[in-house]
Chain A
Amino acid sequence: MEDPSRELVEAVAALDESACFELIRRAEPLIQAALGGQQFASGGDREEVVQDVRRAVLTSAARWNPTRSRFSTWVYAIVRNVYHSYLRRQERRPTQVPFSDMEDGFDPPDPGAECEDDTSTTDLVSVFRRVSEGMSEADRTVIEHMMWHGDGIGSHADLAKSLGVTDAAAKQRVYRMKKRLTEAIEAELRSERDLAANKQGEE
């Protein structure tokens, strides 16, 4: 992915129409990819966040320093900032439990909870492979779909077709798989950490 030129960024600062188009054209796939797997209270909320990101990309373009960060890193930082502000605003609103959660009796994940980031790439990938080893072909199709599309709104038609189910059922499968996979990987990582801690204690 090629970074935009300094000239383009300067033209964006002057609100040049074609420069703005070009910068958004480059940023848009990154924005969509970053937000593809995120949950929004509604499609309108999603569009509002995306629009806020686009505006921030244009207004802060002049501050992007290509010697300090790649374009994708810079865009992702903006997406993260805007999306996390949205989450904070949502926390202040009355909670609405999605219907699918009520069906499962599932507690929504704690927004403050984040995976510990000290797991190495190799460990993380091998844990994932272990966890997914015994899964059915249909489950693997769901995971592959999540990898390439996230679980965002309106992206389940292809999956529904491959599984031979309705859009709503495909959406439900993605939702459940996300929960199942996350819990399984976290459990596996926890047990590995406990094992390592015990071993260290014995030594």
Chain B
Amino acid sequence: MTDKDVARGGHHLNEKELAGFLRFLLAGEKLPEPSEEVLAYLERIADQQEVDDETVTQAARAARGSIVKERLRAAHPKSVRPLGSHLLAKRTEASCRIEDVAAVLGERIETLRALESQTVDPLTLNASRLAAIAETFGLVVSELREALRLALSGVAPRALGPSLARTHEEGFKSEAMRLAADDLLRAAQARLVPINPETDERIASTVAAVRSILEQRGVKELLD
């Protein structure tokens, strides 16, 4: 086979690139050791690849999403807080922007913000959305139950939350301040308002539904 035979569109593989192709061929099932020839061939072929922006956009979005999930799951705040604060604590520790987390969850930013600042009753979200939250944040079922109980047993610090949480211009400082304020307020409360039996029942049935969804999805690591 001559140089002419390894041509494509008037271009040829030079000797080094051809040797790179042969190294790939002879490596069998594995990929060959990186060498000048292998990389010369790789770069040459890469130059010919047509990758459309839409594919790249989807690919980059999916990769970013899985990194966000990975970071959120690896974040373990010291103690369980009311659900909204707990999610905020995890997100802050994971250094993830609210926009990115909302995109992964398929929720509106405003919804997640309302949840974090505890201006919305978490039980108004259905079990499927709560399961998505548990899966994305890596909340174990017992952790979710505890966070829901804390969220519904005390007086939510509505006055402090939203006003401190609007921006991420200063990195995650505002989130950290909000958490501190929330913790302080809870600590200052002499006694949490006990959960009424009806709310307790709602929590139990929601958590059971979340557990069943997670089981169906095969997310065994979150079941306890």
Contact = CB atoms under 8 A, between A and B. Distances in A.
B39 A58 contact: no
Contact of A25 (B2, B28, B56, B68): B56
A55 B29 contact: no
B63 A29 contact: no
A113 B7 CA distance: 30
B96 interface: yes
B137 interface: no
Question: Interface SS of chain A: helix, strand, loop or mixed?
Answer: helix
A167 B203 CA distance: 56
A55 B66 contact: yes
Interface string B1-39: 110011110000101101101111111111111110111
Q: Is the interface on chain A under 10, 10 to 19, 20 to 34, or 35 or more residues?
A: 35 or more
B155 interface: no
A178 B7 CA distance: 19
Contacts of B1: 128-129, 132-133, 135, 140, 143
B190 interface: no
A111 interface: yes
Nearest to A25: B56
Contacts of B66: 51, 55
A172 interface: no
A21 B45 contact: no
Which 9 pairs, one residue from A and one from B, show the smallest C-beta to C-beta distance? Answer: A115-B26, A29-B49, A132-B1, A29-B46, A33-B45, A54-B63, A121-B19, A24-B60, A33-B46
A29 B25 contact: no
Given A132-B1, A144-B8, A186 B26 contact: yes
A80 B15 contact: no
Question: Interface SS of chain B: helix, strand, loop or mixed?
Answer: helix
Contact of B21 (A24, A28, A70, A147): A147
Contacts of B38: 76
Contacts, number: 165
Interface string A115-152: 10100011011001100110100001001101110100
B153 to A, nearest CB: 35
Interface of A: 1, 15, 17, 20-21, 23-25, 28-30, 32-34, 36-39, 50-51, 54-55, 57-59, 70, 72-73, 76-77, 79-80, 83-84, 87, 108-111, 113-115, 117, 121-122, 124-125, 128-129, 132-133, 135, 140, 143-144, 146-148, 150, 178, 181-182, 185-186
Q: Is the interface on chain B under 10, 10 to 19, 20 to 34, or 35 or more residues?
A: 35 or more
A36 B47 CA distance: 14
Nearest to A139: B1
Given A1-B43, A15-B97, A77-B34, A125 B60 contact: no
A28 B59 contact: yes
Contacts of B28: 109-111, 113-115, 182
B12 to A, nearest CB: 10
Contacts of B31: 34, 38, 76, 79-80, 83-84
Contacts of A114: 26-28, 30, 32
A92 B100 CA distance: 36
A185 B30 contact: no
